[in-house]
Amino acid sequence: MTEKLFMAGNEAIAEAAIRAGCRYYFGYPITPQNEIPEYMARRLPEVSGVFLQAESEVASIYMVFGASGAGARVMTSSSSPGISLMQEGISYIAAGELPCVIVNMMRGGPGLGGIQPSQSDYFQATKGGGHGDYHLLVLAPSTVQEAVSLTMEAFDLADKYRNPVMILGDGFIGQMMEPAVFEKKSESNPPAKEWALTGAQGRKANLIRTLDLNPVKLEQHNRKLQRKFEEMIKNEVRVENYLTEDADIVIAAYGTVARIAKTAIQVLRNKGVKAGMVRPISLFPFPYKAFEEVTQHVGKILVVEMSLGQMLEDVKLGVCGKADIRFYGRVGGMVPTYEEIVTETEKFVKETN
């Protein structure tokens, strides 16, 4: 049954997880995502689930490893420094081919930084903050509604590829209240997982491991993982082309910045500037093709991020020299206004004409 609720992004993500069958949550508090563990602490017992605040983020992520290995749908969430502490565990989870969902509500700065919104963990999320050849599947919602549907989808994708999926947001998206429709989704158990450690009665024992001292076998395992990443690249690219068809200039932005960019684009169009946007929704796999295609009729791409230029590299890889690229970034918790984006766009249009 479809239901429409008015909720903050963090709470909506938590509720969506539960409706997707998530029954285990392990985490450690950190602003600006504490509404997620708070909601989980209240709601999970109602559905016979387990909420547990662990000793640290290191402990949390290994509890996620454990629950996932036992076949459960499981989630953790944190913000930048906490996600850094999970990097070893995330690498182990990817190596062990275990499905789980990890939410990162990014905050400003390296170090302890600040609690305002940021997009400075793009590299960590998409290139692999942990060690070894692996990737997270990374989804970046820009509305509460999208946070809901991507979170639900995240659990299915995690199971499909047996790989961790990250929801990448920030305090803006986490604390903003918007109406969101929750599509009918069974709250009950996901499909059985034959590989899971559920007790080996009447069958051969399963084994989950992340170590192989034989390099021939370890290479085979790594290539197997690689094939999954290639499957993701083939099947799971999500991108929004917004008013790109007649655009002379395209803005590249995701998440919170993409919301602001939409306003900027309306203002620009009212002023006669044909601006559009390519909005990556999946950051890994990245929509390189969407950028390659847009260069067939667009010569200017303005990348706007709350970072000092991270997605910028992927845009460059997609564009591959076929369009001019400029970058505008705000950091440390500063959020670019639509006026700033309008100004930067107009400057770009003028100066290079």
Q: Which of residues 29-48 bind a copy of itself (CB under 8 A)?
A: 42, 48
- The residue (of 227 and 271) whose beta carbon lies closer to a copy of itself is 227
Which amino acid would we find at residue 339?
A: E
- Check: CB of residue 333 under 8 Å from CB of residue 117: yes
Residues in the interface with a copy of itself (CB under 8 A) total: 81
The whole-angstrom separation of Cα 318 and Cα 173 is: 27
Beta carbon nearer to a copy of itself, 124 or 182: 124
Please provide the DSSP assignment of 138-198 as one string.
EE--SSHHHHHHHHHHHHHHHHHHTSEEEEEEEHHHHH-EEEEEE-----SPPPP-TTS-S
Q: Among 11-19, 141-149, 237-245, 330-338, which window interacts with a copy of itself (CB under 8 A)?
A: 330-338
Contact 273, 248 (CB under 8 A): yes
Quick one: CA dihedral 173, 174, 177, 181, positive or negative? positive
182: phi then psi, degrees, rounded to nearest 5: -100, 110
In the complex with a copy of itself, which residue's Cβ is closer, 92 or 242?
Answer: 92
* Beta carbon of residue 235, minimum distance to a copy of itself (angstroms, whole number): 19
Closest contact distance (angstroms) between CB of 93 and a copy of itself is 8
Q: Which amino acid is at 131?
A: H
Nearest distance, CB of residue 64 and a copy of itself, angstroms: 12
Residue type present at position 56: S
Residues 248-287 interacting with a copy of itself (rule: CB under 8 A)? none
Q: Show the site string, 184-213: x = touches a copy of itself by CB under 8 A, - = not.
A: ---------------x---------xxxxx
Site membership for a copy of itself, residue 102 (CB under 8 A): no
Show the site string, 226-255: x = touches a copy of itself by CB under 8 A, - = not. x-----------------------------
Window 54 to 83, contacts with a copy of itself (CB under 8 A): 54-56, 58-59, 62-63, 66, 80-83
165 contact partners, CB below 8 Å, separation of at least 6: 99, 100, 101, 102, 136, 137, 138, 139, 154, 155, 157, 158
Rg (the chain; Cα; Å): 21
- Applying CB under 8 A, which of residues 187, 219, 245, 246 lies at the interface with a copy of itself? 219
Q: How far is the CB of 335 from a copy of itself (least distance, A)?
A: 8
Q: Which residue among 183, 187, 220, 343 contacts a copy of itself (CB under 8 A)? A: 220
Asked if 332 interacts with a copy of itself (CB under 8 A), we say yes
Q: Please give the DSSP secondary-structure letter assigned to residue 245.
A: T
**Distance of closest approach, residue 279 Cβ to a copy of itself, in angstroms:** 21
Residue 62, C-beta contacts closer than 8 angstroms, at least 6 positions apart? 89, 92
Stretch that binds a copy of itself, among 6-14, 233-241, 272-280, 311-319 (CB under 8 A): 311-319
Tokens at residue 55, please? 């000793």
* Residues 53, 70: Cα–Cα separation, whole Å: 19
| Torsional class of 199: left (φ above 0), alpha (ψ -120 to 50), beta (otherwise) | left
Collapsed DSSP state (helix, strand, coil) of residue 189? coil
Closer by beta carbon to a copy of itself, 122 or else 242: 122
Minimum Å gap between C-beta 92 and a copy of itself is 4
The residue among 304, 346, 303, 293 whose CA lies nearest residue 324 is: 303
Residues 105-164 that bind a copy of itself (CB under 8 A): 106, 108-116, 118, 120-121, 123-124, 127-134
Q: How far is the CB of 202 from a copy of itself (least distance, A)?
A: 15
Terminal Cα distance for the chain, rounded: 53
Out of 25, 28, 92, 348, point to the residue binding a copy of itself (CB under 8 A): 92
